[in-house]
Amino acid sequence: MQSDAKKTGLLSIVSTGPGNTQQLTPAALKAIAKAEYIIGNNVYIDLIRPLITGKEVVKSPMGEEVNRAQMALDLAASHRVAMVSGGDAGVYGMASIVLEVAERTQSEVLVEVIPGVTAATAAASRLGSPLSGDYVTLSLSDLLTPWEVIEERLDLASRMGVPVAIYNPRSRGRPHNLDTAIAVIGRHRGDETPVGVVRNAYRPGEEVHVMTLAELRADTSPIDMHSIVIIGGIESRIWKVGDDVRGIITPRGYHRKYVY
- Determine which residue in the list 41, 132, 193, 227 makes contact with its own copies, applying CB under 8 A: 132
State the Cα torsion 169-174-178-179 to the nearest 10°.
Answer: 170
260 binds its own copies (CB under 8 A): yes
Secondary structure element (H or E) that encloses residue 63, with its range: none
Q: 214-243: which residues touch its own copies (CB under 8 A)? A: 239-242
- Determine which residue in the list 9, 11, 16, 17 makes contact with its own copies, applying CB under 8 A: 17
C-alpha dist (Å) from residue 81 to 14, 32, 66: 10, 8, 16
Quick check: 165 and 227 in contact, CB under 8 A?
no
Instruction: Compose the 21-60 pattern: x for residues touching its own copies by CB under 8 A, - for all others.
Output: xxxxxxx--x------------------------------
Residues 179 and 185: their CA atoms lie apart, in Å, by: 10
Q: How far apart are the first and last CA of the chain?
A: 73
Residues 8 and 10: their CA atoms lie apart, in Å, by: 7
Q: 153-212: which residues touch its own copies (CB under 8 A)? A: 153, 156-157, 159-162
- Determine which residue in the list 75, 136, 178, 182 makes contact with its own copies, applying CB under 8 A: 136
Pick between residue 176 and residue 256 the one whose CB is nearest to its own copies: 256
How many chain residues interact with its own copies (CB under 8 A)? 83
Q: 99-118: which residues touch its own copies (CB under 8 A)? A: 99-104, 106-108, 113-118
Candidates 2-10, 149-157, 208-216, 221-229: pick the segment binding its own copies (CB under 8 A): 149-157
138 binds its own copies (CB under 8 A): yes
129 binds its own copies (CB under 8 A): yes
> Around Cβ 54, how many Cβ atoms within 10 Å?
5
- Determine which residue in the list 32, 48, 73, 122 makes contact with its own copies, applying CB under 8 A: 122
Q: 66-85: which residues touch its own copies (CB under 8 A)? A: 66, 70
Angle at 168 between CA 170 and CA 146, to 5 degrees: 90
144 binds its own copies (CB under 8 A): yes
Residues 91 and 72: their CA atoms lie apart, in Å, by: 19
